Structure 1
Amino acid sequence: MDGRLDLRNVTVSVSDAERRFALEVAGLQLAAGDAVGLSGPSGTGKTMLLELLGLLRRPDPGGSFRIRAGGTELDAARLWTGRHAGRDAPGHRGRLFGFVPQSGGLLHFLTVRENIALGQRLTGRADPGWISTLEDRLGLAPLARQLPRALSIGQRQRVAIARALAHRPAFVIADEPTAALDPENARTAMGLLIAAATEGGAAVVISSHDSALLDSFALRRLDLAPAGGAGAVSSRLGERGAA
């Protein structure tokens, strides 16, 4: 699926009795085939940014957030306004995005193949041939009938990658997808994720604390860094190498 995502002057803020935190995105564009690595110190809002991109978190009023995919254009900022704010977000999220969580998040009562096919079932995009291709590329074909409990951590993470890609989303979001893996398996899983996503035409954003691992791949790099401000803690997104 072709796709483009464009954010301009978007802010997300959270507050409680003790502090207020704001994440500021002056500009971010993603296009089909992009492979992006996201890094930054703990507490700078990496997960918050991924949730914003994946329609899991409401942006503050103002700014522009538009998504184009499959011949249609979505004003994502407007999803969170009006009487039925957020009501349509889950449908767009399931259709446009694939997610690779740190823990894998597999359903324990489904086989490997059933877990991979779940996104296709939910979006009505049945494509057994693509599932077979993903199984082959990720080394999962011999495990197709196994339940998650029979798999190693690395194998479970590869299933999560295949599941995120199976319904051919325009965008794939991975939040610390290799944090639970040893260095060798982490590098293998990262390479497979990037290759499979870009081959399928998706833009992929990968958040990781492991900057050295991200640096070992040909990724466009985004960094979150603390920004000064009175009365609040804030972070700003910047692109490495940008002026």
Structure 2
Amino acid sequence: MLNLSELRVTRGRGTGRHEVHLPGLTLTSGDMLAIVGPSGCGKSTLLEALGLLLKPSALDSYTLGPSETDLAALLWTENEHALAEIRSRDLGFLLQNGGLLPFLNVRDNISLPRRLLGLPTNSERVRHACAILGLEPLMDKRPAALSIGERQRTAFVRAMAHEPRLLLADEPTAALDPQAGELLFGLILSLVQELEMAALVVSHDRTLVAQFSLPRLAATLTSGGCRFEPET
């Protein structure tokens, strides 16, 4: 599903320089991996680079999907058209702030990725996720009328609505109470396995990560930044 080697993202200069380094990563269909580490170490930066939102300072290889699309080549040649297509079709993003469009209601926010790809707006998996997360009574509301937790749950369903190959979630449970967080984590894991996706989830909640026995990509602080490696 995903294979990557020697990813580096550098921000700042001089004494303010910070490098995020991922020596290697392999994910297969159904894998869900938690990215853990202290605040400010670069977890969100790593997620943005994997999601093709940041151009790395170094990258040996990065392929995605059964066809092993060469994402590294597209990044180095700055093929923005192809990168935009991959972001919309193969990637699902769940940002910390939700990122919902304020002028669309819940129903239209969720259906937007499917409509942009020409997919039928009706999806049994989307309906199931909405039911599990208690979103059905909120469909006609706009984001401003939702609680923070309701916005985050809506954003998750939107991120998986088009059934991407790779789901990238940045602190998806940060705005949720423990029970809702557990429910969302369980739903993410079940859908990733059911849809044969892969998922990378940034989380500060090590208790929740341990509860679901998720493998971890852990941060180690270095003199010039941070390195992420599988935690043993």
TM-score by length of 1: 0.87
In 1, Cα distance between equivalents of 2:133 and 2:40: 33
Amino acid at match of 1:64: S
Shift of 1:158: 1.3
Contact 2:65 2:165 in 1 (8 A): no
* d(CA) in 1 for partners of 2:156, 2:4: 25
2:171 is aligned, of 176, 182, 187, to 176
Structure 1 CA distance for aligned equivalents of residues 58 and 172 of structure 2 = 31
Alignment equivalent of 1:63, drawn from 54, 60, 63: 60
CA drift at 1:207: 0.3
CA change 1:19–1:86 in 2 (3 A) is farther
Structure 1 position 146, deviation (Å): 2.5
Name which of 81, 86, 89 aligns with 1:92. 86
Deviation at 1:238, TM superposition (A): 1.2
Post-superposition shift, 1:62? 4.4
Contact 1:30 1:203 in 2 (8 A): yes
Corresponding residue number in structure 2 for 1:154: 149
Alignment partner of 1:237 is 2:228: yes
Q: Is the 8 A contact 1:59 1:77 kept in 2?
A: no
Question: What does 1:70-89 align with in structure 2 at a 5 Å threshold?
Answer: 72-82=67-77, 84-89=78-83
Residues 11-58 of structure 1 show CA distances to partners (whole Å, capped at 9, x for unaligned) of: 222233542221221110112111111101122210111011111111
Q: Which residue of 2 aligns with 1:24?
A: 21
The root-mean-square deviation of aligned C-alpha atoms, in Å, is 1.9
Give yes or no for contact 2:114–2:161 (8 Å, CA) kept in 1: yes
Cα distance in 2 for partners of 1:145, 1:65 equals: 40
Query: Residues 129 and 43 of structure 1: is their aligned pair in 2 closer, same or farther, counting only changes over 3 Å?
Result: closer
Q: How does 1:3-22 map to 2 (within 5 A)?
A: 4-22=1-19
The aligned residue for residue 123 of structure 1 is 117
- 1:36 is aligned to 33
One-letter code aligned to 1:207: V
1:112 CA drift (Å)? 1.4
1:85 CA displacement:
4.8
Matched, 1:187 2:178: no
How far 1:172 moved relative to its partner?
Answer: 0.6
What residue identity is the alignment partner of 1:97?
L
| 1:102 alignment counterpart | 96
1:222 corresponds to which residue?
Answer: 217
Q: Is the contact between residue 112 and residue 146 of structure 1 (CA under 8 Å) also seen in structure 2? A: yes
User: Equivalent residue for 1:49?
Assistant: 46
Q: How much has 1:193 moved relative to structure 2? A: 2.5
Identity of counterpart residues, as a percentage?
39
Indicate how the Cα distance of structure 1 residues 112 and 240 shifts in structure 2: closer, same or farther if over 3 A, else same.
same
